[in-house]
Structure 1
Amino acid sequence: MNPIALHTIFEMLAYAMGFRTFLWTRQRLAPTAFRHKDEVAWIAVSAIVGAALGAKLSYWLDDPLTAFQNFPDVRHLLQGKSIVGALLGGLSGVELCKKIVGINQSTGDAFVLPLTVGMCIGRIGCYLAGLDDHTYGIATSLPWGVDFGDGVARHPTQIYEIIFLLAQYAWIHARRHAFTQPGDRFRAFMIGYLGFRLLVEFIKPVFYAYPGHLSGLQLLCVAGLLYYYRDIPRIVNILLKGNRSAWEPR
């Protein structure tokens, strides 16, 4: 089967499984995230719209030479996307929606498992798509290097991400009773993933380097971590020690 077709199939499967997991999670693992059923619809729509815009804008930032090739022909502008941009765009959309609609409680905890499931499935599709997906790593001499079709053994960064996501969720779930502040499980997910992507991008090809030889996605990761900078000490303390930090109100 064509690698692009495989990627599309797994991407659709990721959305479907992520949504089904969300329906289960919001009742079992995060029952207080939503007070009314109509809040689910508002949050879902804002998350989808924000994620779609963020995914596209992050692609333009990360690889502007390709995205704006032959501009104003928009075909290249519509091609790529990034999960980092989707996460940050979805977060922005949800927070804006909550302010407009007047939703005061944190809703993020309901998305931790669905995002983990969906992203893992999606990365399988990225791995099968090979070079066409542009999510592979740089050349490596390590024994688990993978030839994606060009005769070069590369870091299978898609597999690294799957392993990280599963390990991160297991850790967050194991500490779930220590996360007494609503939304902290989602904050832990975002802080961990953004930190992982900031580091793993160093072993991936840089399509356009910004000052400091950072990619556009790394700049987005830094921006996301700065957004959570007040929460990082508390989240790290909970993850490492399993208890609330001195900065958390009691």
Structure 2
Amino acid sequence: MTPVALHTVFEALAYMVGFRTFLWTRRRLAPSAFQHDDHVVWVGVGAIVGAALGAKLAFWIDDPIAAFASFPDLRHLLEGKSIVGALLGGLIGVELAKKIAKVPRSTGDAFVLPLTVGMCIGRVGCFLAGLGDHTYGVPTSLPWGVDFGDGVPRHPTQLYEIAFLLAQYAVIHWRHDVFAKPGDRFRAFMIGYLMFRLLVEFIKPVFYNWPGGLSGIQWLCVAGLAYYGRDIPRILRALFARGSGAWEPR
């Protein structure tokens, strides 16, 4: 099976397993997130549409030279996507859908585990895709450097991300009782992931330099963290506060 085919298989698997995990999470981990089934539909549509548009826009921002190299070839223009863009676009899409459908409650907590599972599976596909996926790291002399096909050991940043996501979920799961507001688990997930991506991008190739020497993805991370700026101190205080408990389904 070719690297592209492997990536496609794992991407499809990520969507399927992530969706099934969401159905379970909705009942077990965040049963109060949705009052009615039609709220699930509205939020789901907002998330899907917003994520699709955000993922594409983020790729254009991150590597505009490659994205528009064959303009106006629509097929080439629609290639490529970004998880950071998908998360931020999905966030915007969900908030708009909730306003339209008048969904009164925070629904984010129901997405923490599905996103973690889906993103981990997807990153396995990115790792197996090699150089063509553009998610690898810069060259390294560290013993765990991986040759993605060009004879150069590189940081396996896809594996770093999987390790981070699993560790982050373990902390959020363990410290669930310290989050005061509905949706705080999702806020913690987003803040943690955006901080991780902001930092890990420094050991990944920069395909286009934006002001400040940052990549487009890093600037999107900065924008996302600015959106959560008021929540960051409270979330950090909660995570590092004394006292914790094992999670119990409610």
**Normalising TM by the smaller chain, what interval?**
over 0.9
- Show the counterpart of 1:247: none
Q: State the alpha-carbon separation in 2 of the partners of residues 78 and 72 from structure 1.
A: 11
Q: Is 1:222 aligned to 2:236, yes or no?
A: no
Tell me: CA distance 1:145–1:25, structure 2 relative to 1, closer, same or farther (3 Å).
same
Q: State the alpha-carbon separation in 2 of the partners of residues 84 and 228 from structure 1.
A: 15
CA contact (8 A) 2:70 2:77 kept: no
Q: State the alpha-carbon separation in 2 of the partners of residues 151 and 101 from structure 1.
A: 53
Deviation, 1:242, is 4.7
What runs of 5+ residues in structure 2 fail to find an aligned partner? Answer: 245-250
- Show the counterpart of 2:135: 135
- Show the counterpart of 1:55: 55
The CA deviation string for residues 218-240 of structure 1, in whole angstroms up to 9 with x for no partner, is 00000000000000001001111
What runs of 5+ residues in structure 1 fail to find an aligned partner? Answer: 245-250
Tell me: CA distance 1:242–1:64, structure 2 relative to 1, closer, same or farther (3 Å).
farther
Q: How does 1:143-182 map to 2 (within 5 A)?
A: 143-182=143-182
Q: State the alpha-carbon separation in 1 of the partners of residues 202 and 74 from structure 2.
A: 30
Q: Is 1:45 aligned to 2:45, yes or no?
A: yes
- Show the counterpart of 2:82: 82
Identity of paired residues, percent?
Answer: 75
Letter of the aligned partner of 1:87 in structure 2? Answer: L
- Show the counterpart of 1:248: none
Partner SS state of residue 25, structure 1: helix
Letter of the aligned partner of 2:238 in structure 1? Answer: I
- Show the counterpart of 1:117: 117
TM-score, normalised by the number of residues in structure 1: 0.96
Letter of the aligned partner of 2:202 in structure 1? Answer: F
CA contact (8 A) 2:139 2:153 kept: yes
Letter of the aligned partner of 2:136 in structure 1? Answer: Y
Question: How many pairs align?
Answer: 244
The CA deviation string for residues 191-225 of structure 1, in whole angstroms up to 9 with x for no partner, is 00000000000000000000111000000000000
CA contact (8 A) 1:168 1:192 kept: yes
Q: State the alpha-carbon separation in 2 of the partners of residues 44 and 71 from structure 1.
A: 32
The CA deviation string for residues 174-195 of structure 1, in whole angstroms up to 9 with x for no partner, is 0111113100000000000000
The CA deviation string for residues 38-61 of structure 1, in whole angstroms up to 9 with x for no partner, is 101110011000000000000000
Tell me: CA distance 1:179–1:243, structure 2 relative to 1, closer, same or farther (3 Å).
farther
- Show the counterpart of 2:25: 25
Partner SS state of residue 75, structure 1: helix
Letter of the aligned partner of 1:122 in structure 2? Answer: G
Q: State the alpha-carbon separation in 2 of the partners of residues 92 and 135 from structure 1.
A: 25
- Show the counterpart of 1:240: 240
CA contact (8 A) 1:197 1:221 kept: yes
Letter of the aligned partner of 2:16 in structure 1? Answer: A
CA contact (8 A) 1:178 1:242 kept: no
Q: Is 1:201 aligned to 2:201, yes or no?
A: yes
The CA deviation string for residues 119-149 of structure 1, in whole angstroms up to 9 with x for no partner, is 0000000000000100000000000000000
| Cα-Cα RMSD | 1.0
Q: How does 1:58-69 map to 2 (within 5 A)?
A: 58-69=58-69
Deviates more, 1:35-44 or 1:235-244: 235-244
Q: State the alpha-carbon separation in 1 of the partners of residues 179 and 102 from structure 2.
A: 24
- Show the counterpart of 2:12: 12
The CA deviation string for residues 134-167 of structure 1, in whole angstroms up to 9 with x for no partner, is 0000000000000000000000000000000000
Letter of the aligned partner of 1:98 in structure 2? Answer: K
Deviation, 1:68, is 0.6
Q: State the alpha-carbon separation in 2 of the partners of residues 60 and 105 from structure 1.
A: 33
